[in-house]
Structure 1
Amino acid sequence: METEVLFRETQRFRQWWLWLILLIAFFVPVYNSVQKGKLHHFSFPQYFNFDNLIVFIVPVLAIALLLSCRLDTEITAENIRVRLFPFHLKFKTFSAKTIGLAYVREYNPLLEYGGWGLRLGLFGKGKAYNIAGNQGIQLVFKDGSKLLIGTQKPDEASAALQKGGYLKAEVY
């Protein structure tokens, strides 16, 4: 019998400023490359050399990576599962037996974890999987390690943690 999913969320990078930076990072080198080609009497075979190809491919790959990137989170009474696709093809599963405490909290992504994505926190903050915002599901494991999972649905996540029995503190 399959366990009831108490909470499910999928997040994607949607920050306008991030896409603006990527577009500028794409169009400025492309524009410069095209202008350089015009100065040297643009000819199709000479223009598409390795250097110019890199100018087009690297930004396109970065944009494709961010378009495909998503953070999937599931909470059940038995475990909490998280996947930062495409870095994790399979879910990372954290058994309720290993979690001492889980709760939703506000955090500062830049100061505590150095930004968004798959991050390693400073000063014992543990790891973080986050895409956007400043709300997260804080897991404190019985061995003392920590993991923060970003959420855009803090109230729903908190209700699921309570229903799943994660809010009672054990050893942490």
Structure 2
Amino acid sequence: MSDQVILYSEQQRFKQFWLWAIILGAAAIFWAGFIYQVLLGEQFGNRPVSDVQLAILFALMGVGMPWFFYQMKLTTEVRPGEIHIRFWPFHVRPVIIHLHLVRDFEKVTYNPIGDYGGWGIRWGFKGKAYNMSGNEGVQLRFYNRKPLLVGSQDAVALFEAIKLAKELR
């Protein structure tokens, strides 16, 4: 079924200002330490690490961490009879949800922190969630497992595409 027509496609990235402020603020500390100690030759902090250790920390935290968060993306595709969800880089292949296993579904507004503990691939009392930003999505209820929430920036279009995909299967 992977060569079938795509009824809905959405790609999301982390775009919360506060998250990027924390990530870039932490990275800036490593940039400052690297520039100050390695490039300018001054001691950075009361108990400085060696230049090699600082260069490794700079590469991991000053460059690697922002790049890692920038590369993260949630791709949702609705095809006849199935939904493909891929949370890069954690999913090498998409998670395929067969719609014949879905009992019912609805568009929901939820509290990401209160209901699931935040954004990303999350588990909470209300089931599992795939979300990147915002507070809207489609809640899928299954016959044989806990509910799954698929976050979306256009939950109405996702809901309509799932309804059509379930009919086309």
* Band of TM-score, shorter chain: 0.7 to 0.9
Matched, 1:82 2:85: yes
For residues 1-172 of structure 1, what are the structure 2 equivalents within 5 Å? 2-32=3-33, 34-35=35-36, 37-39=41-43, 48-50=51-53, 52-59=54-61, 60-121=63-124, 123=125, 125-165=126-166
Q: TM-score, normalised by structure 1?
A: 0.81
SS state of the match for residue 5, structure 2? Answer: coil
In structure 1, what is the Cα distance between the partners aligned to 2:58 and 2:148? 37
Opposite residue 142 of structure 1, the aligned amino acid is: Y
In structure 1, what is the Cα distance between the partners aligned to 2:71 and 2:139? 25
Measured after TM superposition, the shift of residue 29 of structure 1 is 3.7
Q: TM-score, normalised by structure 2?
A: 0.83
* Root mean square deviation of aligned Cα: 2.2
In structure 2, what is the Cα distance between the partners aligned to 1:80 and 1:114? 24
> Residue 39 and residue 91 in structure 1: after superposition, are their counterparts in 2 closer, same or farther (change >3 A)?
closer
Identity value in percent: 34
Q: Confirm or deny: 8 A CA contact 1:103 1:161 kept in the other structure.
A: no
For residues 89-109 of structure 1, what are the alpha-carbon distances to aligned partners after superposition, in whole Å with 9 as ceiling and x for unaligned?
Answer: 111101112111122211111
In structure 2, what is the Cα distance between the partners aligned to 1:20 and 1:118? 21
SS state of the match for residue 82, structure 1? Answer: strand
Q: Confirm or deny: 8 A CA contact 1:101 1:141 kept in the other structure.
A: yes
Measured after TM superposition, the shift of residue 48 of structure 1 is 2.4
Count of residue pairs brought into register by the alignment: 158
Structure 1 unaligned blocks of 5 or more: 41-45, 167-172
In structure 1, what is the Cα distance between the partners aligned to 2:118 and 2:75? 18
> Residue 39 and residue 5 in structure 1: after superposition, are their counterparts in 2 closer, same or farther (change >3 A)?
closer
Structure 2 unaligned blocks of 5 or more: none
SS state of the match for residue 9, structure 1? Answer: strand
Measured after TM superposition, the shift of residue 33 of structure 1 is 5.4
Q: Confirm or deny: 8 A CA contact 2:34 2:58 kept in the other structure.
A: no
> Residue 4 and residue 49 in structure 1: after superposition, are their counterparts in 2 closer, same or farther (change >3 A)?
closer
Opposite residue 148 of structure 1, the aligned amino acid is: L
